[in-house]
Amino acid sequence: MNLPESLIQMGSKRNIMREIREYGLLRAWEVGAEKVLDFSLGNPSVEPPRRVNDFIRELLSGPEAASVHGYTTAQGELGVREKLAASLTRRFGGPYDAGDLYLTVGAAAALCCCFRALACPGDQFILLAPFFTEYTYFITGNGGEPVVVPPDYATFQPDLGALERSITSHTKAVVVNSPNNPSGVVYTAETLSAMAELLRRKAAEYGHPIYLISDEPYREIVFEGFSVPWLPDFYDDTLVCYSYSKSLSLPGERIGYILIGKPVADREALYAAICGAGRVLGYVNAPSLFQRVAAECDGLTADLTVYQTNRDLLYHGLTELGYTCVEPGGTFYLMVKSPEPDAAAFCERAKRYDLLFPPTDDFHCPGWCRIAFCTATETVQKALPLFKKLAAEYGLN
């Protein structure tokens, strides 16, 4: 047999969240779904904004009913990109125009196109731990080499000293994901200013641009007292990768974009390389109906209040029980420190209470776990007394 071994491995090894999810479904069948408290998957629990389905029904009853399913240009329908650019300009400044946008089949596709478009032989891409498990596959699969930088464990902000030591003449880009999966942390303006300053200095030192790739699917899921700075305001060479998966609760529909503003270095060539990357990866155009949905609904969100409620209950509840938690500024994730060195063992112990969540070893953060609270609030309320029993086992508090 002569097939690429790494891909076989990658296709055989289940993502740990999906493994837990499947265990949860099995367990629900055994003991009843109401007893299984599954915090494994980042699947939005709230419905899309009503406008999404209303708009689709209107569109499919109107004069565009047939043409809406046709090919669009590879970078996305011009009218769609114009509307999105206007919306982004209203919300974030810019100004942006249609030529700054390349619509993608979700954020994963956006990231893959960026990595592919940037990676020359030997190029390194810096990942700030903790980070989404798939990043390393996206980078190695598209010609780059990932370099992992640990966080400042006191705050889970990036450790800029460690970042500086990791930058070499081979550094092509740094990936930023804020609000962060899995930590929920929002990088502060201070962090971003200092990071931008560092990158400008290093880019000048090495004589070539170092890009920031900002993966922002959680941009709109932000909690009281927090706000998400707009990265292009801090650093010119920023590529924004966005997805409507979480804000509009449309993760299965795969719609997102890359924003490449005017100040980005080698912008024309890079935009062309992204188009070329889309071609070789087989992305003909982003799904056409949902391009229209994005244009119609950009800036709207699903009703995200349940995430705030769940976050408050969980963060305060677990902290009071003696757990060490990272305070989430956004997303629907919370990281809790394992009370024993082996986080997988802690997860196994939690499983006995039918509390299901993964360790963050695969997120490059051993010793911690990720609780995805995109669930009904009732699930959180049922979980807390069980977390209390679990805390007692460890003698917390």
Find the binding residues for its own copies in span 121-140 (CB under 8 A): 134, 137-138, 140
Subset of residues 182 to 221 that bind its own copies, contact rule: CB under 8 A: 208
Alpha carbon of residue 258 to chain centroid = 14
Query: Is there binding between residue 287 and its own copies (CB under 8 A)?
Result: yes
Going from the C-alpha of 266 to that of each of 208, 209, 260, 279, the distances in angstroms are: 10, 9, 10, 20
Give the range of 248-256, 344-352, 355-363, 375-383 binding its own copies by CB under 8 A.
248-256
Name residues whose C-beta falls within 8 Å of residue 200's C-beta, 6 or more positions apart in sequence: 235
Name residues whose C-beta falls within 8 Å of residue 182's C-beta, 6 or more positions apart in sequence: 130, 132, 333, 335, 360, 363, 365, 370
Query: Is there binding between residue 283 and its own copies (CB under 8 A)?
Result: yes
Subset of residues 152 to 181 that bind its own copies, contact rule: CB under 8 A: 172
User: Of residues 124, 171, 181, 288, which one binds its own copies by CB under 8 A?
Assistant: 288
User: Of residues 28, 51, 56, 86, which one binds its own copies by CB under 8 A?
Assistant: 56
User: Of residues 83, 219, 246, 254, which one binds its own copies by CB under 8 A?
Assistant: 254
Query: Is there binding between residue 24 and its own copies (CB under 8 A)?
Result: no
Query: Is there binding between residue 47 and its own copies (CB under 8 A)?
Result: yes
User: First and final CA of the chain: distance in angstroms?
Assistant: 56
Query: Is there binding between residue 253 and its own copies (CB under 8 A)?
Result: yes
Which tokens is 119 given?
Answer: 């990676």
Query: Is there binding between residue 362 and its own copies (CB under 8 A)?
Result: no
The residue whose two tokens read 């569109």 is 59
User: Of residues 84, 105, 240, 343, which one binds its own copies by CB under 8 A?
Assistant: 105
Query: Is there binding between residue 73 and its own copies (CB under 8 A)?
Result: yes
Query: Is there binding between residue 303 and its own copies (CB under 8 A)?
Result: no
Which tokens is 182 given?
Answer: 């899995």
Query: Is there binding between residue 301 and its own copies (CB under 8 A)?
Result: no
Nearest to 103 by CA among 247, 283, 230, 264: 283
Query: Is there binding between residue 8 and its own copies (CB under 8 A)?
Result: yes
Nearer to its own copies, 72 or 157 (CB): 72
Name the CA dihedral angle for 111, 114, 119, 124, rounded to a multiple of 10 degrees.
-50
Least distance between its own copies and beta carbon 210 (Å): 11
Which tokens is 215 given?
Answer: 């993966």
